[in-house]
Amino acid sequence: MTGGSVFAGVLMLVSGVLGILNGIAGIAKDDVYARIGDYVYSFNLTTWGWIHLILGILVALTGWGILKGSEWARGAGIGLAALYIVEYFLFLPYAPVWSLISIGIGIFVIWALASEPHRSPRAGGPAKHA
């Protein structure tokens, strides 16, 4: 495992936990965030709370899987990071600065996981290219 993928796993774990807390806050109290302007993709904050909670749980578990070196976690991490980027793009009117930071984190996670060398199943190490 490379340093970039370890950092991506930590970012996913922390972002997932923050997403869980964000979701709980949105579900518990419907006026946590104030919308800035009007936006085409508008959900009420309880719906956003459930979206953040469910995706946060999935992202945190996948980040844990990446840190444990699970093979399934790499592909799932790329897919969930892409979904995470879309989620925070749609959440821009509620938390614009945090949404931009989260989109940047998602882009880094995709890059780090996609650029990690493949492991050879027999040797257990990085695959050698001819």
Q: Count of domains in the chain?
A: 1
CA atoms within 13 A on the CB side of 10: 7
Owner of token pair 């940047």:
104
Backbone angles phi, psi at 98, to 5 degrees: -65, -35
pLDDT tens column, 100-128: 999 999 999 999 999 887 665 554 555 55
pLDDT, residue 38, reads 66
Please check whether residue 49 lies inside any domain of the structure: yes
Q: List the domain range (segments joined by +) for residue 92.
A: 3-114
How much of the chain exceeds pLDDT 70, in percent?
79
Please check whether residue 126 lies inside any domain of the structure: no
> Are 107 and 15 within 8 A, CB to CB?
no
Please check whether residue 90 lies inside any domain of the structure: yes
Please check whether residue 53 lies inside any domain of the structure: yes
For residue 2, which amino acid is it? T
Owner of token pair 């919308």:
35
